[in-house]
Structure 1
Protein backbone atom coordinates (compact mmCIF):
# COMPACT_ATOMS: atom_id res chain seq x y z
CA UNK A 1 0.00 0.00 0.00
CA UNK A 2 1.42 3.36 -1.04
CA UNK A 3 0.43 6.53 0.77
CA UNK A 4 0.76 10.19 -0.08
CA UNK A 5 0.19 12.97 2.43
CA UNK A 6 -0.08 16.57 1.29
CA UNK A 7 -0.09 19.53 3.67
CA UNK A 8 -2.60 22.21 2.72
CA UNK A 9 -1.34 25.20 4.66
CA UNK A 10 -4.26 27.48 3.82
CA UNK A 11 -6.89 24.84 2.99
CA UNK A 12 -10.30 25.55 4.51
CA UNK A 13 -11.35 23.28 7.33
CA UNK A 14 -15.04 23.84 6.86
CA UNK A 15 -17.35 23.66 3.87
CA UNK A 16 -17.45 27.43 3.47
CA UNK A 17 -15.69 27.43 0.11
CA UNK A 18 -17.03 27.56 -3.41
CA UNK A 19 -16.46 24.77 -5.91
CA UNK A 20 -16.24 27.59 -8.47
CA UNK A 21 -13.31 29.14 -6.59
CA UNK A 22 -11.19 26.35 -5.12
CA UNK A 23 -7.96 28.40 -5.26
CA UNK A 24 -9.37 31.50 -3.55
CA UNK A 25 -12.22 30.61 -1.22
CA UNK A 26 -10.82 27.10 -0.63
CA UNK A 27 -7.34 28.23 0.39
CA UNK A 28 -5.66 26.58 -2.61
CA UNK A 29 -7.90 23.53 -2.33
CA UNK A 30 -7.28 23.15 -6.08
CA UNK A 31 -3.71 22.04 -5.38
CA UNK A 32 -4.95 19.34 -2.99
CA UNK A 33 -7.62 18.15 -5.42
CA UNK A 34 -5.02 17.74 -8.16
CA UNK A 35 -2.90 15.73 -5.71
CA UNK A 36 -5.83 13.43 -4.94
CA UNK A 37 -6.28 12.82 -8.66
CA UNK A 38 -2.55 12.27 -9.28
CA UNK A 39 -2.43 9.84 -6.36
CA UNK A 40 -5.42 7.74 -7.28
CA UNK A 41 -6.16 7.83 -11.01
CA UNK A 42 -5.02 5.64 -13.84
CA UNK A 43 -6.50 5.77 -17.31
CA UNK A 44 -9.98 4.26 -16.90
CA UNK A 45 -9.27 2.95 -13.39
CA UNK A 46 -8.16 3.81 -9.88
CA UNK A 47 -5.04 2.81 -8.02
CA UNK A 48 -6.70 0.55 -5.45
CA UNK A 49 -3.47 0.20 -3.45
CA UNK A 50 -3.06 3.92 -2.66
CA UNK A 51 -4.27 6.15 0.16
CA UNK A 52 -4.11 9.92 -0.12
CA UNK A 53 -4.11 12.06 3.03
CA UNK A 54 -4.86 15.76 2.95
CA UNK A 55 -3.70 17.64 6.04
CA UNK A 56 -5.89 20.74 6.15
CA UNK A 57 -4.34 23.50 8.23
CA UNK A 58 -6.43 26.55 7.30
CA UNK A 59 -9.24 28.39 9.00
CA UNK A 60 -11.51 28.08 10.84
CA UNK A 61 -11.50 24.61 12.44
CA UNK A 62 -8.08 23.12 11.74
CA UNK A 63 -6.21 21.03 11.61
CA UNK A 64 -8.15 18.17 10.08
CA UNK A 65 -7.04 15.23 7.99
CA UNK A 66 -9.07 13.86 5.08
CA UNK A 67 -8.16 10.41 3.76
CA UNK A 68 -9.10 9.10 0.32
CA UNK A 69 -8.86 5.31 0.13
CA UNK A 70 -8.24 4.04 -3.39
CA UNK A 71 -9.56 0.65 -2.32
CA UNK A 72 -13.06 1.89 -1.51
CA UNK A 73 -13.63 5.41 -2.84
CA UNK A 74 -16.68 5.97 -5.04
CA UNK A 75 -18.17 8.99 -6.79
CA UNK A 76 -14.76 10.40 -7.69
CA UNK A 77 -14.09 11.63 -11.21
CA UNK A 78 -10.70 12.79 -12.51
CA UNK A 79 -11.30 16.51 -12.18
CA UNK A 80 -10.63 19.04 -9.42
CA UNK A 81 -14.29 19.84 -8.89
CA UNK A 82 -15.20 16.20 -8.17
CA UNK A 83 -12.52 15.84 -5.50
CA UNK A 84 -13.45 19.29 -4.16
CA UNK A 85 -17.11 18.28 -3.89
CA UNK A 86 -16.21 15.18 -1.85
CA UNK A 87 -13.99 17.23 0.45
CA UNK A 88 -16.75 19.83 0.85
CA UNK A 89 -19.22 17.04 1.64
CA UNK A 90 -17.13 15.41 4.39
CA UNK A 91 -15.41 18.40 5.94
CA UNK A 92 -18.32 19.52 8.10
CA UNK A 93 -19.20 16.02 9.33
CA UNK A 94 -18.67 15.90 13.10
CA UNK A 95 -15.47 13.99 13.74
CA UNK A 96 -13.19 13.06 16.57
CA UNK A 97 -9.63 11.84 16.87
CA UNK A 98 -10.20 8.65 14.85
CA UNK A 99 -11.00 8.47 11.15
CA UNK A 100 -14.70 8.46 10.42
CA UNK A 101 -16.01 7.42 7.02
CA UNK A 102 -18.01 10.41 5.87
CA UNK A 103 -18.52 9.30 2.25
CA UNK A 104 -17.68 5.96 0.68
CA UNK A 105 -13.89 5.71 0.77
CA UNK A 106 -13.42 9.21 2.20
CA UNK A 107 -12.59 9.59 5.89
CA UNK A 108 -12.08 12.57 8.19
CA UNK A 109 -10.68 13.22 11.65
CA UNK A 110 -9.31 16.01 13.77
CA UNK A 111 -5.55 16.39 13.93
CA UNK A 112 -2.78 17.09 11.50
CA UNK A 113 0.77 16.31 10.59
CA UNK A 114 2.09 15.44 14.03
CA UNK A 115 -0.55 12.75 14.45
CA UNK A 116 0.06 11.32 10.99
CA UNK A 117 3.81 11.13 11.57
CA UNK A 118 3.24 9.31 14.86
CA UNK A 119 1.30 6.60 13.02
CA UNK A 120 3.47 6.03 9.97
CA UNK A 121 6.97 6.70 8.75
CA UNK A 122 6.96 9.07 5.79
CA UNK A 123 9.68 10.08 3.37
CA UNK A 124 9.65 13.71 2.30
CA UNK A 125 9.52 14.53 -1.40
CA UNK A 126 11.78 17.53 -1.80
CA UNK A 127 13.90 18.76 -4.70
CA UNK A 128 16.97 18.75 -2.42
CA UNK A 129 16.62 15.05 -1.55
CA UNK A 130 18.36 11.99 -2.96
CA UNK A 131 17.26 11.21 -6.50
CA UNK A 132 14.78 8.30 -6.44
CA UNK A 133 16.64 6.71 -9.35
CA UNK A 134 19.72 6.35 -7.15
CA UNK A 135 17.87 4.55 -4.34
CA UNK A 136 17.58 0.77 -4.35
CA UNK A 137 14.51 0.42 -2.10
CA UNK A 138 11.94 3.17 -1.94
CA UNK A 139 9.53 3.56 0.99
CA UNK A 140 5.76 3.26 0.71
CA UNK A 141 4.69 6.61 2.24
CA UNK A 142 5.51 10.11 1.02
CA UNK A 143 4.91 13.60 2.36
CA UNK A 144 4.64 16.72 0.24
CA UNK A 145 3.82 20.35 0.81
CA UNK A 146 1.30 22.29 -1.24
CA UNK A 147 2.38 25.46 -3.06
CA UNK A 148 4.10 26.72 0.11
CA UNK A 149 7.30 25.48 1.73
CA UNK A 150 7.17 23.50 4.95
CA UNK A 151 6.95 25.76 8.00
CA UNK A 152 9.69 25.82 10.63
CA UNK A 153 7.49 23.72 12.94
CA UNK A 154 6.85 21.18 10.17
CA UNK A 155 10.56 21.07 9.31
CA UNK A 156 11.27 20.23 12.94
CA UNK A 157 8.68 17.41 12.85
CA UNK A 158 10.16 15.90 9.66
CA UNK A 159 13.85 16.51 10.38
CA UNK A 160 14.56 12.76 10.71
CA UNK A 161 12.55 11.70 7.67
CA UNK A 162 14.48 10.60 4.59
CA UNK A 163 14.22 13.03 1.67
CA UNK A 164 13.88 12.07 -1.96
CA UNK A 165 13.71 14.00 -5.19
CA UNK A 166 12.11 13.01 -8.49
CA UNK A 167 14.47 15.17 -10.51
CA UNK A 168 16.61 18.28 -10.69
CA UNK A 169 13.73 20.77 -11.07
CA UNK A 170 11.12 21.91 -8.56
CA UNK A 171 7.77 20.48 -9.67
CA UNK A 172 4.19 21.05 -8.59
CA UNK A 173 3.08 18.59 -5.91
CA UNK A 174 0.69 16.72 -8.23
CA UNK A 175 3.36 16.40 -10.93
CA UNK A 176 5.80 15.07 -8.34
CA UNK A 177 3.29 12.37 -7.40
CA UNK A 178 2.84 11.41 -11.06
CA UNK A 179 6.59 11.14 -11.67
CA UNK A 180 7.05 9.09 -8.50
CA UNK A 181 4.19 6.76 -9.49
CA UNK A 182 5.93 6.23 -12.81
CA UNK A 183 9.15 5.26 -11.05
CA UNK A 184 7.33 2.90 -8.67
CA UNK A 185 5.34 1.35 -11.54
CA UNK A 186 8.54 0.66 -13.50
CA UNK A 187 10.10 -1.03 -10.50
CA UNK A 188 7.06 -3.17 -9.78
CA UNK A 189 6.44 -4.36 -13.36
Structure 2
Protein backbone atom coordinates (compact mmCIF):
# COMPACT_ATOMS: atom_id res chain seq x y z
CA UNK A 1 0.00 0.00 0.00
CA UNK A 2 1.37 3.40 -0.98
CA UNK A 3 0.20 6.39 1.03
CA UNK A 4 0.43 10.11 0.51
CA UNK A 5 -0.20 12.91 2.98
CA UNK A 6 -0.54 16.37 1.48
CA UNK A 7 -0.64 19.39 3.78
CA UNK A 8 -3.06 22.15 2.80
CA UNK A 9 -1.87 25.11 4.85
CA UNK A 10 -4.84 27.34 4.03
CA UNK A 11 -7.44 24.72 3.03
CA UNK A 12 -10.86 25.59 4.41
CA UNK A 13 -12.18 23.33 7.17
CA UNK A 14 -15.79 24.47 6.87
CA UNK A 15 -18.06 22.44 4.59
CA UNK A 16 -19.66 25.63 3.26
CA UNK A 17 -16.74 26.57 0.98
CA UNK A 18 -18.01 27.23 -2.56
CA UNK A 19 -17.26 24.73 -5.31
CA UNK A 20 -16.83 27.57 -7.79
CA UNK A 21 -13.97 29.19 -5.83
CA UNK A 22 -11.67 26.37 -4.71
CA UNK A 23 -8.46 28.44 -5.06
CA UNK A 24 -9.86 31.47 -3.19
CA UNK A 25 -12.50 30.80 -0.55
CA UNK A 26 -11.57 27.11 -0.58
CA UNK A 27 -8.04 28.02 0.55
CA UNK A 28 -6.27 26.40 -2.43
CA UNK A 29 -8.50 23.35 -2.18
CA UNK A 30 -7.92 22.97 -5.93
CA UNK A 31 -4.34 21.88 -5.24
CA UNK A 32 -5.47 19.20 -2.81
CA UNK A 33 -8.12 17.95 -5.24
CA UNK A 34 -5.48 17.57 -7.95
CA UNK A 35 -3.24 15.71 -5.51
CA UNK A 36 -6.07 13.29 -4.68
CA UNK A 37 -6.78 12.71 -8.37
CA UNK A 38 -3.10 12.17 -9.17
CA UNK A 39 -2.66 9.68 -6.36
CA UNK A 40 -5.70 7.53 -7.09
CA UNK A 41 -6.69 7.59 -10.74
CA UNK A 42 -5.36 5.53 -13.62
CA UNK A 43 -6.55 5.91 -17.19
CA UNK A 44 -9.36 3.40 -16.69
CA UNK A 45 -9.57 2.78 -12.98
CA UNK A 46 -8.50 3.55 -9.45
CA UNK A 47 -5.29 2.55 -7.71
CA UNK A 48 -6.71 0.19 -5.14
CA UNK A 49 -3.35 -0.05 -3.36
CA UNK A 50 -3.11 3.68 -2.61
CA UNK A 51 -4.45 6.11 -0.03
CA UNK A 52 -4.27 9.87 -0.07
CA UNK A 53 -4.69 11.86 3.14
CA UNK A 54 -5.18 15.58 2.89
CA UNK A 55 -4.47 17.61 6.00
CA UNK A 56 -6.56 20.78 6.11
CA UNK A 57 -4.99 23.49 8.25
CA UNK A 58 -7.16 26.46 7.29
CA UNK A 59 -9.92 28.14 9.24
CA UNK A 60 -12.21 27.78 11.09
CA UNK A 61 -11.10 24.40 12.56
CA UNK A 62 -7.48 23.65 11.56
CA UNK A 63 -6.32 20.07 11.85
CA UNK A 64 -8.83 18.06 9.85
CA UNK A 65 -7.59 15.01 7.94
CA UNK A 66 -9.56 13.47 5.10
CA UNK A 67 -8.54 10.09 3.72
CA UNK A 68 -9.34 8.79 0.26
CA UNK A 69 -8.83 5.01 0.29
CA UNK A 70 -8.50 3.59 -3.22
CA UNK A 71 -9.45 0.08 -2.08
CA UNK A 72 -12.94 1.17 -1.02
CA UNK A 73 -13.77 4.33 -3.01
CA UNK A 74 -16.98 4.42 -5.01
CA UNK A 75 -18.49 7.12 -7.22
CA UNK A 76 -15.46 9.40 -7.34
CA UNK A 77 -14.41 11.13 -10.55
CA UNK A 78 -10.99 12.68 -11.17
CA UNK A 79 -12.28 16.23 -11.63
CA UNK A 80 -11.65 18.87 -8.95
CA UNK A 81 -15.32 19.69 -8.43
CA UNK A 82 -16.28 16.07 -7.74
CA UNK A 83 -13.39 15.55 -5.34
CA UNK A 84 -14.17 18.86 -3.61
CA UNK A 85 -17.77 17.69 -3.15
CA UNK A 86 -16.44 14.61 -1.36
CA UNK A 87 -14.28 16.83 0.84
CA UNK A 88 -17.34 18.93 1.70
CA UNK A 89 -19.24 15.74 2.59
CA UNK A 90 -16.41 14.66 4.91
CA UNK A 91 -16.21 18.09 6.55
CA UNK A 92 -19.97 18.08 7.18
CA UNK A 93 -19.79 15.26 9.71
CA UNK A 94 -18.40 15.60 13.24
CA UNK A 95 -14.92 14.19 13.66
CA UNK A 96 -12.86 13.00 16.60
CA UNK A 97 -9.37 11.52 16.93
CA UNK A 98 -10.25 8.29 15.11
CA UNK A 99 -11.30 8.00 11.49
CA UNK A 100 -15.01 8.11 10.81
CA UNK A 101 -16.54 7.05 7.50
CA UNK A 102 -18.15 9.78 5.42
CA UNK A 103 -18.78 7.42 2.50
CA UNK A 104 -17.21 4.37 0.87
CA UNK A 105 -13.45 4.92 0.99
CA UNK A 106 -13.88 8.44 2.39
CA UNK A 107 -12.83 8.90 6.02
CA UNK A 108 -12.24 11.88 8.27
CA UNK A 109 -10.76 12.70 11.66
CA UNK A 110 -9.07 15.46 13.59
CA UNK A 111 -5.31 15.19 13.68
CA UNK A 112 -1.90 16.77 13.51
CA UNK A 113 1.21 16.20 11.47
CA UNK A 114 2.77 14.51 14.50
CA UNK A 115 -0.18 12.08 14.54
CA UNK A 116 0.34 11.26 10.88
CA UNK A 117 4.09 10.80 11.21
CA UNK A 118 3.66 8.40 14.13
CA UNK A 119 1.54 6.00 12.07
CA UNK A 120 3.79 5.21 9.10
CA UNK A 121 7.37 5.36 7.91
CA UNK A 122 7.40 8.51 5.77
CA UNK A 123 9.75 10.16 3.33
CA UNK A 124 9.55 13.84 2.48
CA UNK A 125 9.75 15.09 -1.07
CA UNK A 126 12.29 17.87 -1.12
CA UNK A 127 14.25 19.27 -4.05
CA UNK A 128 17.44 19.12 -1.96
CA UNK A 129 16.94 15.45 -1.05
CA UNK A 130 18.62 12.34 -2.41
CA UNK A 131 17.70 11.48 -6.00
CA UNK A 132 14.93 8.88 -5.65
CA UNK A 133 16.45 6.86 -8.50
CA UNK A 134 19.56 6.32 -6.37
CA UNK A 135 17.51 4.83 -3.52
CA UNK A 136 17.28 1.04 -3.37
CA UNK A 137 13.77 -0.30 -3.83
CA UNK A 138 13.77 -1.95 -0.41
CA UNK A 139 14.65 1.40 1.19
CA UNK A 140 11.70 3.27 -0.31
CA UNK A 141 9.03 3.93 2.29
CA UNK A 142 5.35 3.24 1.75
CA UNK A 143 4.32 6.79 2.70
CA UNK A 144 5.26 10.17 1.30
CA UNK A 145 4.69 13.65 2.73
CA UNK A 146 4.14 16.67 0.51
CA UNK A 147 3.17 20.29 1.00
CA UNK A 148 0.81 22.42 -1.04
CA UNK A 149 2.06 25.60 -2.73
CA UNK A 150 3.68 26.71 0.53
CA UNK A 151 6.90 25.50 2.07
CA UNK A 152 6.73 23.48 5.26
CA UNK A 153 6.41 25.76 8.30
CA UNK A 154 9.19 25.99 10.88
CA UNK A 155 7.20 23.74 13.23
CA UNK A 156 6.66 21.20 10.44
CA UNK A 157 10.35 21.34 9.52
CA UNK A 158 11.20 20.48 13.11
CA UNK A 159 8.88 17.45 13.00
CA UNK A 160 10.31 16.16 9.71
CA UNK A 161 13.95 16.99 10.48
CA UNK A 162 15.05 13.34 10.74
CA UNK A 163 12.80 11.89 8.04
CA UNK A 164 14.48 10.80 4.76
CA UNK A 165 14.20 13.39 2.01
CA UNK A 166 14.03 12.46 -1.66
CA UNK A 167 14.21 14.53 -4.80
CA UNK A 168 12.43 13.68 -8.04
CA UNK A 169 14.79 15.56 -10.32
CA UNK A 170 16.39 18.92 -11.03
CA UNK A 171 13.11 20.80 -11.55
CA UNK A 172 10.72 21.77 -8.76
CA UNK A 173 7.28 20.41 -9.63
CA UNK A 174 3.79 20.81 -8.20
CA UNK A 175 2.66 18.34 -5.52
CA UNK A 176 0.23 16.56 -7.85
CA UNK A 177 2.96 16.15 -10.46
CA UNK A 178 5.34 14.85 -7.80
CA UNK A 179 2.78 12.20 -6.87
CA UNK A 180 2.56 11.05 -10.49
CA UNK A 181 6.35 10.85 -10.71
CA UNK A 182 6.60 8.83 -7.49
CA UNK A 183 3.89 6.42 -8.58
CA UNK A 184 5.55 6.02 -11.97
CA UNK A 185 8.83 5.20 -10.25
CA UNK A 186 7.10 2.67 -7.99
CA UNK A 187 5.20 1.14 -10.93
CA UNK A 188 8.41 0.76 -12.93
CA UNK A 189 10.18 -0.93 -10.03
CA UNK A 190 7.31 -3.27 -9.16
CA UNK A 191 6.90 -4.35 -12.76
CA UNK A 192 10.63 -5.01 -13.20
CA UNK A 193 11.25 -2.26 -15.72
CA UNK A 194 14.20 -1.01 -13.66
TM-score range, shorter chain: over 0.9
- Which residue of 2 is the match for residue 24 of structure 1? 24
| 1:69-148 alignment runs, 5 A limit | 69-137=69-137, 138-148=140-150
- Which residue of 1 is the match for residue 39 of structure 2? 39
SS at structure 2 position matched to 1:144: strand
How big is the shift at 1:133?
0.7
Q: Distance in 2 between matches of 1:56 and 1:93?
A: 15
Q: Distance in 1 between matches of 2:75 and 2:91?
A: 16
- Which residue of 1 is the match for residue 182 of structure 2? 180
1:164 aligns with 2:163: no
SS at structure 2 position matched to 1:147: coil
Structure 1: gaps of 5 or more residues: none
SS at structure 2 position matched to 1:3: strand
SS at structure 2 position matched to 1:35: helix
SS at structure 2 position matched to 1:187: helix
Structure 2: gaps of 5 or more residues: none
Q: Which digits, 9 at most, give the CA deviation of each residue in 1:47-99, with x for residues without a partner?
A: 00001000110000111100000000111101111110100111120111000
**Regions of 4+ moved over 2 Å:** none
How big is the shift at 1:103?
1.3
Q: Distance in 1 between matches of 2:8 and 2:40?
A: 18
TM-score when normalising by structure 2:
0.96
Q: Distance in 1 between matches of 2:110 and 2:160?
A: 20
Do 1:57 and 1:112's aligned partners in 2 also have CA atoms closer than 8 Å? no
SS at structure 2 position matched to 1:130: strand
| 1:59-74 alignment runs, 5 A limit | 59-74=59-74
Q: Distance in 2 between matches of 1:75 and 1:152?
A: 38
Q: Distance in 2 between matches of 1:165 and 1:111?
A: 27
Do 1:7 and 1:56's aligned partners in 2 also have CA atoms closer than 8 Å? yes
Q: Distance in 2 between matches of 1:62 and 1:93?
A: 15
How big is the shift at 1:16?
2.1
